[in-house]
Amino acid sequence: MTDQAKSMAHDLGYLPVTTDRVGKMCTLVGGQMTNYLIRFAYPDRQALWVGSAEEVNSCVTTTNGTVVSNSYIGPSITAAYRTGTWTLLPPKDPCDPATGRRGQDEQMVPDGAIKVLVCRDKQSGSATPHPSDGVQHGQQQARELAAELNSLKAEPGGNTCRETGDGRREMFLLHFGYAEGPPAWVRILSRCRPSVNNGVLVGDLNDALLDRVSRLAPPA
C-alpha cells in the first residue's frame, strides 16, 4: 500500500500505548483469529514491524515490539488487507469506546479537547452495555471535565471492576474530541473500584465528579 503508508502510520501513531502490563476483561468466545504483520519500509532500507490480529473477542493488542496498545484495530487491518485501502473504522455506535488517543498513558484526558460527548448506559449493570444517544458539549465543559478527570490519582490498569456498596450502578462513556486526530474516551462506572478508566489508566471518582457527569449526560 505505497500511497497509504503515511495515512496508516499517522493513525497507528495516534494509538494510546504503554510499556506496562495492563490487564483487561475479555470475553472467551471461540472463533477464528487472523494474525497480521505490517512492515513499514523507510528510504534508508530500515523497516518497522507492527503486529496485530482480528479475532471474535476484540481483545488482542497491537505492538511494535517496544510499546503495546490495547486499542482494537483488527477489522481495519483486515479491510486494508482485502482492499488495499486504509481507513481506521469508527465504532458502530458513537457512544462505544473508540481506539483512544496518544497520551492517555500519561493523562486520563490529553490536553487540547474542544468538545465532549457524554453518554449514559441505558441498562446499567447489565452484562452487555446499551449506551444511550449522547449529549454533545462544547470546549468549556470539555476542558473543565478533563481537568477534573486529570486531577484524580491515576495509575496503570485495565477495564476491571470490583463491586462496592449497594444501589444502582451507573455507567457513563465520555468521548473528548480534538481539532485534529482521534477522540480520547473515558469510561466511568459508579459502585466500582476502580471507577474510572481510559483503557490504560484507572482511578476513582468522587461525588462531585459523578454529579457533574450525571448532569451532562442524557436523562436516566
Strand 155-156 vs strand 62-63: parallel, antiparallel, or unpaired?
unpaired
Q: Which residue has the cell 476502580?
A: 194
The alpha carbon dihedral of 99, 97, 19, 114 has a sign of positive
Mean pLDDT (whole number) for 112-138: 75
pLDDT at 126 over 60: no
Identity of the amino acid at 60: V
Residue bearing the bigger pLDDT, 29 or 214: 214
**Predicted TM-score (pTM) above 0.75:** yes
Q: What is the pLDDT of residue 122?
A: 57
Torsion sign over Cα 75, 117, 184, 155: negative
Name the residue ranges covered by the structural domains of the chain: 2-83, 115-216
In this predicted structure, what is the pLDDT of residue 8?
A: 96
What SS3 class is residue 147?
A: helix
pLDDT tens for each residue of 2-19: 889 999 999 999 999 988
pLDDT at residue 24 in the model: 64
Contact status, residue 150 vs residue 108, Cβ threshold 8 Å: yes
The strand pairing partners of 40, in sequence order, are 48
| Average pLDDT over every residue of 57-73 | 92
Q: What pLDDT is stored for residue 21 in this prediction?
A: 67
